[in-house]
Structure 1
Amino acid sequence: MQELKESIPAYILILPTLVILVIFLFIPFANAFRISLYKYKGYGELTRYVGMKNYVSVLQDDQFYRAFGNTFQLIGCDLIFSITIGFILSYILFRGIRMKRFFNTALFIPYLISMVVIGCIWRIIYDPTIGPLNQILELIGLGNLAQPWLSQIHTALPAIIVTWIWRTIPFNMLICYANIMTLPKDHLEAAEIDGASRFQRLKYIIIPHMVPTFATLAVLTVTNDLRAFDLVWVMTQGGPGGASDVLTSYVYSNAFVSQKFGPATAASILMMAVMIGITVVLQLVKKAGGKNEG
């Protein structure tokens, strides 16, 4: 009884957070799950109960699996290239270059720009007639490579992935740079005195020090990329023919274009389940890695 009385202030403190979670998370989720069990066009009452048929139709839809695969292509490329390039840039800044402050600020600018604005800018860059990309290819004698990047099945998704990576690199660079700066300088100085080369110091001191940061960035990258929507919608709306659809654009087009709110909501719940599963797995891997280091 005494322990309960002592815990009352703690329960009072967390009560507002619990209320917010219930209002803005649990109630909307329960309502979304309810909608996923009905045939619903987005207006009127929920009257046509179909049970799990919406989930079955989503799981039988080839476009859902295509969007699923595209999403994980985006995640895979972002994990490999964005984190790697971000780390390389952070290491270059750590080593020191002329106009370091300028480059530190300039390289971070893409992350400050709205994703919608970035999508509009890169649509112009990829434009087959006035786009600078094709014009540069023509200028350097590679005109045979010029093409309508966003309107071809085999180039639309890679074009979006390149744009997405360009936008996410600055964040990864900043986090890596901040973590490198926490590395005790005496470790590097001792290694230098012992005759270790720059590459050896990078391999045996800096990179091991960065492993927890890489794990955290991996979790953030996966959770962020699973929610990718605005850039895809601005640049291609999932086209051509669904070639650049990701899970979020698939859900949006089903709900607000086709007015199939039941299957769209079912797909969003399946997507949320995937997000939770992947996040849990990554956290367990990260925790296991931390124990092994200890």
Structure 2
Amino acid sequence: MIEMVKPKHGFWSQIRESVPAYLLVLPTFAVFCVFLYIPFVKALRISTFKFNGIGDLTDYVGFANYWRVLQDEKFYSAFWNTFKLIGVDSLFSIGTGFLLAFVLYKGIKLKRFFNTALFIPYLISMVVIGSIWRIIYDPTIGPLNQFLEAIGLAEWAQPWLSNEHTALPAIMLTWIWHTIPFNMLIIYANLMTMPGDFLEAAEMDGATPLQKLRYIILPYLLPTFGTLLLLTVTTDLKAFDMVWVMTQGGPGGASEVITSYVYRKAFSTQDFGTATAASVIMMLVMVTIMIVAQLAGRMGGKGR
């Protein structure tokens, strides 16, 4: 009998076999290094210096900038406002997106028209949206106050973006209006890929529409909801342009978010070291949330 000799695959032979794959990955890795890793390392270095944005880094202060940020009440206010935005956006944007997607999935007249029309707000620039809604909220020429006066609710009319109690809710409403279409589209796409056998089997067993929604559709969409929640958190942590156009974090910091806090520290007070330290803290929070979410998703998958 002729014995089959197994080829020996040593370490270097495996490396040689992987060379084409490494060459394909190299351009992407180079882009990440140039635009992500190297700037991040430089940001870490800047965060340990007292720096006004001009000249060389000479005044080393160690972790004093981080300590200054963690002692600043305005930072915690901006941090809390950011997570208020995340919570409200997650609840209403994903929830409303699901309702709209479910209605489109069930089928209505002019379905294609509504599918396109409902997605338009997501295609508009954040700066343009902020400018439009700033006019809507305007206390003198704004359509919102004019509408309230027309229906006999003039006492409700107020300077929405100049009132510390309504500035942040007004921004939240605008932000949700912008994010609903994306969530609706993703949920609708996943509903369209759901196997029809599930619903047909449920109908044969006599399941009501509510039971099909509760025991088939919602469980099927749970991974989608988890992904959208993670995207909402990461996107809302970076919210800046709309907030800055509408209120610039005012009045009195009532609508300040983390990104506007960082921008103000860097360009209004010329304290780039503290601003960079705040940015690093924000990034660490974002990475922690993503890691926890992934671990929770894996544990949930094993549990099922």
AA aligned opposite 1:136: F
- Scaled by the length of structure 2, what TM-score is found? 0.94
Matched, 1:63 2:74: yes
Matched, 1:48 2:59: yes
Structure 1 segment 80-229 matched on structure 2, within 5 A? 80-229=91-240
| SS at 2:165 equivalent | helix
Residue of structure 2 equivalent to 1:236: 247
| SS at 1:237 equivalent | coil
Query: Could you tell which deviates more after superposition, 169-178 or 17-26?
Result: 17-26
Tell me, in whole angstroms, the C-alpha distance in 1 between the residues paired with 2:125 and 2:34: 29
1:164-186 CA distance string (max 9 Å, x none): 00100000000000000111112
1:148-197 CA distance string (max 9 Å, x none): 00001111011000100010000000000000011111221222232211
Tell me, in whole angstroms, the C-alpha distance in 2 between the residues paired with 1:3 and 1:100: 54
Tell me, in whole angstroms, the C-alpha distance in 1 between the residues paired with 2:277 and 2:219: 42
Query: Could you tell which deviates more after superposition, 185-194 or 217-226?
Result: 185-194
Q: Is the 8 A contact 1:83 1:173 kept in 2?
A: yes
Residue of structure 2 equivalent to 1:9: 20
Tell me, in whole angstroms, the C-alpha distance in 2 between the residues paired with 1:201 and 1:211: 15
Query: Could you tell which deviates more after superposition, 13-22 or 141-150?
Result: 13-22
Pick one of 50, 57, 68 that aligns with 1:39. 50
1:142 is displaced (CA, Å) by: 1.4
Tell me, in whole angstroms, the C-alpha distance in 1 between the residues paired with 2:37 and 2:198: 49
Tell me, in whole angstroms, the C-alpha distance in 2 between the residues paired with 1:52 and 1:234: 32
Tell me, in whole angstroms, the C-alpha distance in 1 between the residues paired with 2:260 and 2:278: 11
Q: Is the 8 A contact 1:229 1:246 kept in 2?
A: yes
1:9 is displaced (CA, Å) by: 2.1
Gaps of 5+ in 1: none
1:292 is displaced (CA, Å) by: 2.2
1:4-58 CA distance string (max 9 Å, x none): 2212222222222222222111111111111111111111111211111111110
Tell me, in whole angstroms, the C-alpha distance in 2 between the residues paired with 1:3 and 1:91: 50
Matched, 1:250 2:261: yes
Tell me, in whole angstroms, the C-alpha distance in 1 between the residues paired with 2:151 and 2:238: 38
| SS at 2:54 equivalent | coil
Tell me, in whole angstroms, the C-alpha distance in 1 between the residues paired with 2:201 and 2:274: 61
RMSD over aligned CA atoms reads 1.0
Pick one of 20, 25, 32 that aligns with 2:36. 25
Tell me, in whole angstroms, the C-alpha distance in 2 between the residues paired with 1:30 and 1:191: 55
Q: Is the 8 A contact 1:219 1:283 kept in 2?
A: no
| SS at 2:254 equivalent | coil
Q: Is the 8 A contact 1:254 1:264 kept in 2?
A: yes
Gaps of 5+ in 2: 1-11
1:143 is displaced (CA, Å) by: 1.3
Residue of structure 2 equivalent to 1:274: 285
Tell me, in whole angstroms, the C-alpha distance in 1 between the residues paired with 2:23 and 2:194: 40
Residue of structure 1 equivalent to 2:296: 285
Query: Could you tell which deviates more after superposition, 121-130 or 136-145?
Result: 136-145
Query: Could you tell which deviates more after superposition, 114-123 or 196-205?
Result: 196-205
Query: Could you tell which deviates more after superposition, 97-106 or 186-195?
Result: 186-195
Aligned length: 293
1:134 is displaced (CA, Å) by: 1.0
Tell me, in whole angstroms, the C-alpha distance in 2 between the residues paired with 1:192 and 1:125: 47
Identity across the alignment (%):
66
Tell me, in whole angstroms, the C-alpha distance in 1 between the residues paired with 2:109 and 2:150: 31
Tell me, in whole angstroms, the C-alpha distance in 2 between the residues paired with 1:150 and 1:189: 51
Tell me, in whole angstroms, the C-alpha distance in 2 between the residues paired with 1:285 and 1:243: 33
| SS at 1:48 equivalent | coil
